[in-house]
A and B are shown apart, each in its own frame.
Chain A
């Protein structure tokens, strides 16, 4: 808010806006979020800590209290939190709505723990989490902030992944390490698909946004896993790896088509996302056919990270842009350290890479207006 005030004062001094407009902007921004992201961060932290505390209290398993009393108290607390959710939803008090929502869904998780404790249920943790995700999905749609859908998607996604791998529901005939690899590489496509499908539904749009964020995060994980697998020969069978990558491509291609048709992103910005996805898929068969060229993993990572940085720049996300550029730099550095056996070659490679980056900067400056025009086009 202080930063905004300073900026607005500057704009008033420069005559870009008049004091009335400044006051209107300040009033509007103040009404949008009470306390802004810092308050939400503390609310998120506080409710998570309370949630973990509740789970720990349940986990202590007080034998002095009769089971039915534990259950009655549990349901009364849940009901109270539910009433709190409805009260603050109606009053449109967003910070308290988010707090009660977080407490409510975490308490639902604690309740599942309590029921499994009382009835000695011997099921899997991931099954309990999937059940939790299903029953709390409706209430998560009431959220007006990113944190709760993001948390929900994280738990749901992790539980489903573990379930799929454990039960061999996906690629049943390959080794476990390759199954993990395949699943981690295909996850961003599933997340993108769910994000695109849910974005159209106003009620489920917050969950869709959660999936969108997780498609980026799981994409990052996929890139990292691919790079490490190729670079350190983690896969025991390259023949199997070819099959895995083939299957990932088979699943990925229709997803790309669907995202292309239905994604809510503007058309030109969509092109960058699709370029990233196509590169992600296109590199897999090449890499599996040329296992001796370990550098493919590094090249793949650097290009994808750079494209993602361009996307972050277009989306005006400067922190992400800086982080991605830092990762690109670190990957270049890693190439240098990996090539201890052939320093001269890697040195030349680094010089060429640095040259390409500097060449890019030179071209950018020379054709700045042309690029800016292009970016303006992407942002339309």
Chain B
């Protein structure tokens, strides 16, 4: 049970932060299938930072914390591409997302090999990261069962919880959040109220890139302790499924991510308990996806996307 909670959370939280990014983008009216590419590029910049500058820090903790910041910046910058394509160039949002993903995989693949070859003089397609420390909170972790939430926690988990609160607050209670939701529901109305729809959507997409970058960096650390093309394992698409399941609202999306994370760690634990050979882990891996699909069957009927989602907004056409 403990392992299920610990592993489940360490998977669910990065997924959740990516999904929050997706909610920002989609509630502003921009479909964001680019999350996969954004999280990958974010992880790439974070990994590059560690590879290039990690050795100059005397304290081992600094490169880790800074790498998340760099990943956020990298994801945010790469999101400019999606923002430009969809807002300025009026590209189809789904296509733009897919293209951004393809470019992300190609670009990071090229850059990682090129940089490894020309800077470090070694043929490799990955940047090595350090193993993250894990923390256990005294007292709280002693609570039976749910105490596991506070055991062996990755530092990024704390960070994500803090970011979640901040971005939930901005989404619900700030002026920007209110404008963002208006843009996704009725951009013409937002425009008439004096809101700059383009700018609001632009920042929403950039924020989604930054949050995806943090999620991507978390996965790079927790799953393989390096940046490699393996980071493109579909978490971005899963995050989209989670946010649709969560009806484009932050709280239900958290719930969806937790279900997914626990289904995943639970399935692995089951394999271990039953002492099944490792090849069965593939079968276990299908459980979260099957579960999600089944839940979608029951809950999609009442699902309502933001009204203006996917609609290309052109100020000059009303």
A and B from one assembly?
A: no
